[in-house]
Chain A
C-alpha cells in the first residue's frame, strides 16, 4: 500500500477522535458560557470528559432487551458514518474527503438514521417517558426536516450539484459564500438547525420537567456514555456540514474551529434565554416562517 492509503486510514481514525474531542470540549465551553450568563462560575471546561469517563466506568448497566443495546450503537454508527461523508477540511489528504455526487441526499438519510435507531432502542425500555420523548423527537424531526430539505433543494438547484465538495469549490472568496449567494436558503436552514441542535426553544425531546430525560430515561452507565459520545460527534458533524455548505468550508483547523464555534453559539445563546415550545407549537413554528423562506429560496432559483 502506498503512503496515501495509509494517510487515508489514519484519517479514518483521527477524524472521529477529533470530532469527539472537539464536540465534548464545545459542550464544556457551552456549559461555562451558560453559567456565566446565569451569574455563576460554572464547571471546568473539561467537565464533560469526566462525565463521559465516569459513565463508561460505571460497573453495572441495566438493559431491557436487545434493542436497547442496538439503540446507542445505531446512533454512534450513524454519527460516525455521517462524519465520514462530510469533508472536514478543503483539499486535505489527511482529513476525510469522501465526497461523491449525491452525498447531500445520502447525509439527509444518514442523519435521520441515528435518531430512528435511538427511537427503537428507547422504545424497548418500556418507560412511558421514553415513548413520549421518542414520539416528540420524531414529530419535531418532521417539523425541522421540511425547511432544511427545502433549503438544500434550493441550493442543489441553484448550483446544479448534489456534492458537498463541489459546493465548497463554488464558494472561494468571502463574498461567494452561500450565506450571501442564497440568503433565504441560509435563513431556512439555520432555523431548522436550531431545531436540530435540540436547544431551547426546541428541546421538547429531552424536557426534564415534563418527561424526565425523554428517550434516555432508562439509559444509564455505558449506554448513556455511548449516547453522549455519539451526540458530541454528531454535533461536530452537523456544525461542519453547515460550515461546508454555507460558510465556505475551511482550509485549516483553526478556521474550522472558529467558524463552527460561532455557528454553534447561535442555538446555544438562543437556548439560554428562551423557554421551550410545546411540541405542536414547535412544529407550527417550523412549518411557518422557515418553510416560507425555504420556498422563497426555491422560487428565486427557479424563476
Chain B
C-alpha cells in the first residue's frame, strides 16, 4: 500500500495536549515524519509587564509564569534580587524556602503522575494523585493563604513564619504520601502495561543530551547525573542528605522512574528540613517597597524545579523597576526544539505521552 503523508493538528484544543499549545504533525500511517510545535497561545507579555512594575510588584507576576509549580519562580526572583543587592537571608528563612520548594516539587510530581497516566488511558491514577495533591495545597493554604499562587518567598526571606504545629501537619502528609506511593507503584510504576508502553519510547540520545539543552529528569533519565541542587547548591541544599537518582535509557520509562525516586527523596528532604528547622528571624526587612531601588547590576540564578533547571536573568539599572527580568524555563527547550526532535519517527499514540514525560508547560515557554 502506498502511504500518503497527511497533516494532523494536535491542539490547541485537544485533550492530550498539556496546556494550550499546538503540535503540527506530518504523518504517514501511524508514524510521525515531522513535528512542528506552535506556541504563543498563552503569551501574556510578563517580561514587558515586569518592566513597568516595581520590584516587589513583580512577585504576583512571576508565580504565574509556570502555573503547576509557581514557587521556583518566586525563589528565583528573590535570589536574583538578593544577589544583585547583596542581601543576606536568615538561616530559618532558607530552611522554610527549601520546605516550600520541596512541597511544590511533590505537588508537581503528583500532577505529573496523573498527566502521564492519563495520557495513556489510566484514568484512575489522575483521580488519586490530583486528589492527594490537594493535601499539599492545603498545607500551602495554611502557610501562605493561597492554594495555587503563593507569593510567599520574598527577597530577604519569606513573608510569614510557620504557623504553630505546621511541622507536624507536614509530617502527617508526608507519612500519608509515603503510604500512597505503594498504591501508585502498584497501579502505575509496576504495571507491566506501562513498561510496555514506555520502554524505548521518546528516546533522547545520551551523547547529544547536553548539547540539546536537556535538563532535569530527562537528563538524569539519560544516565547523566546533574542537578542544580548539587551542582550549584542554593539555600541549604548542601546541608541536607539526598541522592540524585539516574537511570539509563533516556526513554519515557527512565524519566518516569527518575521522578518516582525523586519523589521519595523529596519526602526525605522535607522530613530533614522539619527536623533541623532552626529558630530565629524569618525575614530581613526590605525598604519601603514603593521606594526600593535595587543597585545597578545583573545576575543569573537557577533553581532545580520539578522539570529541570529554571533560570532567571535580571538586570537592574538602579531605578525602581527592573530593567529586564528574563525567565528561562526547562520547557522552553523541552517543549519546543527537543519535542520536535524526538517526535520524529514516533507513533501518533505517543505524542501526548512524550509531551507529559518531558514536562512540557506552555505558559513557561511563552510567558
A residues touching B (Cβ–Cβ < 8 Å)? 34, 37-40, 128-129, 132, 200-201, 203-204, 207-212, 272-279, 281
Contacts and interface: CB of A to CB of B under 8 A. Distances in A.
23 contacts: A34-B123, A38-B124, A38-B128, A40-B131, A129-B8, A201-B121, A201-B193, A204-B349, A209-B16, A209-B118, A209-B353, A210-B351, A212-B15, A272-B124, A273-B122, A273-B124, A274-B193, A275-B193, A275-B197, A276-B120, A276-B193, A278-B349, A281-B196
A275 B125 CA distance: 10
B8 A209 contact: no
A86 to B, nearest CB: 30
Nearest to B7: A128
B121 A37 contact: no
Nearest to B198: A275
A37 B123 CA distance: 11
A207 B124 CA distance: 15
B276 interface: no
Contact of A209 (B119, B197, B347): B119
Contacts, number: 77
B196 to A, nearest CB: 6
Contact of A39 (B7, B14, B127, B350): B127
A274 to B, nearest CB: 6
A203 B122 CA distance: 11
B124 A209 contact: no
Interface string B13-47: 01110000000000000100000000000000000
Contact of B121 (A34, A128, A129, A275): A275
B contact face: mostly helix, strand, loop, or mixed: helix
Contact of A128 (B8, B120, B122): B8
Interface of B: 6-8, 14-16, 30, 117-124, 127-128, 131, 187, 191, 193-194, 196-197, 347-353
Given A203-B121, A209-B119, A273 B187 contact: yes
Contacts of B348: 132, 210-211
A276 B123 CA distance: 10
A211 B124 CA distance: 20
Given A128-B6, A210-B352, A278-B197, A37 B16 contact: no
Contacts of A207: 121, 349
B184 to A, nearest CB: 12
A277 B6 CA distance: 23
A276 to B, nearest CB: 4
Contact of B347 (A208, A212, A275, A278): A278
A204 to B, nearest CB: 7
Residue from B7, B124, B191, B349 whose CB has the most chain A CB atoms within 10 Å: B349
A38 to B, nearest CB: 4
Nearest to A199: B121
A128 B348 CA distance: 12
Given A132-B348, A204-B349, A278-B349, A37 B124 contact: yes
A121 B7 CA distance: 21
Contacts of B191: 274-275
Nearest to A208: B15
Given A210-B16, A210-B348, A212-B15, A277 B193 contact: yes
A212 B17 CA distance: 10
Contacts of B8: 128-129, 132
Contacts of A279: 30, 349
A34 B119 CA distance: 18
A209 B121 contact: yes
Given A201-B121, A275-B120, A39 B193 contact: no
Contacts of A212: 14-15
A129 B15 CA distance: 12
B352 A39 contact: no
B121 A38 contact: no
A200 B119 CA distance: 13
Contacts of B30: 132, 279
A38 B351 CA distance: 26
Contacts of B131: 39-40
A277 B194 CA distance: 9
B190 to A, nearest CB: 12
Contacts of B353: 209
B114 to A, nearest CB: 11
Contact of B128 (A39, A274, A281): A39
B82 to A, nearest CB: 42
A109 to B, nearest CB: 25
**Complex A-B, nearest 6 residue pairs according to Cβ-Cβ distance, in ascending order:** A276-B121, A38-B127, A209-B16, A275-B122, A275-B120, A209-B119
B194 A275 contact: yes
Given A132-B30, A273-B122, A275-B193, 6 more contacts: A128-B7, A209-B118, A210-B16, A273-B187, A275-B197, A277-B197
A208 B193 contact: no
A264 to B, nearest CB: 18
B277 to A, nearest CB: 32
A279 to B, nearest CB: 7
Contacts of B128: 38-39
Nearest to B125: A275
A194 to B, nearest CB: 13
A277 B120 CA distance: 8
